[in-house]
Amino acid sequence: MQRRRRLDPLPYLLVAPVAIFIVGLALVPAVFTIVQSFYTVDELDPPTRLSGFHNFIQLWHNSSVLTSAANTGFYVLVGVALSTVLGIGMAVTLQRSFRGRSVVIAILILPWALPGVVEGILWTGIFDPNVGLLNNLVATLHLGSGNAVLLGHNRLLTITLIELVQVWQITPLSALLILAALQLIPGELYEAAEIDGAGPWRSFASVTLPLARAGIAVAVVQAVIATLNVFDQPYVLNGAALTGSSVTEQTYFISFQNLNFGQGYALSLLITVVTLVISLGVVRFIYKKVEL
């Protein structure tokens, strides 16, 4: 009994390197960001001094930040909805085994595996007003002149096209997460539903969706995180123009172009808090433990 009660240090020693790495990589910068967001850290206005909520108030009066926040709200709504719906459709399609299924899954992963900068450069060629694939298609179908400037002029069109690029990237991960949840559903439940007279749509609504809620919740959370923190696609496709900028872009501009690190820290903290609140809300609303 005494030997059982004696603390075994080996598991803690094995976990310690990873724990130290996580603390050093994530928690320390997070605490530093929280503290510095309440200070004036401006290379053009030294020295560093306590300013309370001044940085947050200045952000509220910054028209570029407010415009970018509205753009990001659109990214979140459209991106989360589209990636989740498409992810469910892809997962249901891949749920049953068929010839070439592994090849389809490998191809499906490619957009998610590519870096955001590479995707932005790829789609820049597609949206090019002179030789872009999209304009050539419009000209071929006689739907327009075929030399329209798609990005940068019309705000709604710009953020829609940018978000479609991001949806193309994040949807494969959503599909794989939901597919993993679908693989855990016993086939006997579908057989029982079929015996009870349930058709494909009824089985989907009564069996698939309820039992896949855990995977759907995780997929929605990752989509929320990705869309709230989108940076690569707007920056590569549209540069610093406000027609498609995101709040993460504004964090970069404020911190490294304006050298106002205090406001940059404050905006980063706000993005983190909003991400946590929305993610917790998604999990609480969608996730539900189901016992088979």
The phi, psi pair for 147, rounded to 5°, reads: -130, 30
Judge whether residue 284 has pLDDT over 70: yes
Each residue of 30-67: pLDDT tens digit?
Answer: 888 899 899 888 877 788 888 889 999 999 999 999 99
What ranges in 127-186 are assigned the alpha helix state H?
133-140, 155-182
- Cα–Cα distance for residue pair 151/160, rounded to 1 Å: 10
pLDDT at 143 over 80: no
Region 123-151: what's the mean pLDDT?
77
Structure tokens that stand for 245 in this block: 């900028």
CB contact at 8 A, 149 and 129? yes
For 64-286, give the CATH class: mainly alpha
Residue 11: pLDDT band (50, 70, 90) is: confident
Q: Which pLDDT band, with edges at 50, 70 and 90, does 105 fall under?
A: confident
Any idea where the domains of the chain sit in the sequence? 64-286
Q: What is the distance between the alpha carbons of residues 50 and 38, in angstroms, rounded to a whole number? A: 6
Average pLDDT taken over every residue of the chain = 86
Confidence of residue 1 (pLDDT cuts 50, 70, 90): very low
Is 116 within 8 Å of 231 (Cβ atoms)?
yes
User: Does residue 127 surpass a pLDDT of 60?
Assistant: yes
- Smallest CA-to-CA distance from 122 within 169, 176, 81, 90 is with 169
pLDDT at 4 over 60: no
pLDDT beyond 70 at 2: no
Amino acid at 291: E
pLDDT at residue 290 greater than cutoff 80: no
Rounded-to-integer distance, Cα 43 and Cα 62, Å: 19
* Whether the predicted pLDDT of 291 surpasses 70: no
Read off the pLDDT of each residue in 136-143 and give the average, rounded to a whole number. Answer: 75
pLDDT reading at 145 higher than 50: yes
In sequence order, the β-bridge partners of residue 42 are 260
